[in-house]
Amino acid sequence: MTLKELKSIGRELTLFLAMFAGCFASLAGRRLLSIYVKGQLSDIKNKNCEAIALKFDQAPRTLQRFFGINQVE
């Protein structure tokens, strides 16, 4: 889906993601889930954390940490 198409289903997608809101303690977690799902639905070629984060103007590490990937301690 293009970003325009994603925006057209915005309300329905928001309602769908709201069903999972209780799984996240913070608003930031819910926002990152939204970015990830939109990335999976989008038309980007490589559907990995880095590509999705960059598509939605986020730092790739932010989305990687959301999934616990490459955590630096």
**Which tens digit of pLDDT belongs to each residue from 6-29?**
788 888 999 999 999 888 888 999
Q: Work out the percent of the chain whose per-residue pLDDT is above 70.
A: 93
Dihedral sign for Cα 33, 34, 40, 43, please: negative
CA distance 55 to 16: 21
CA distance 47 to 8: 21
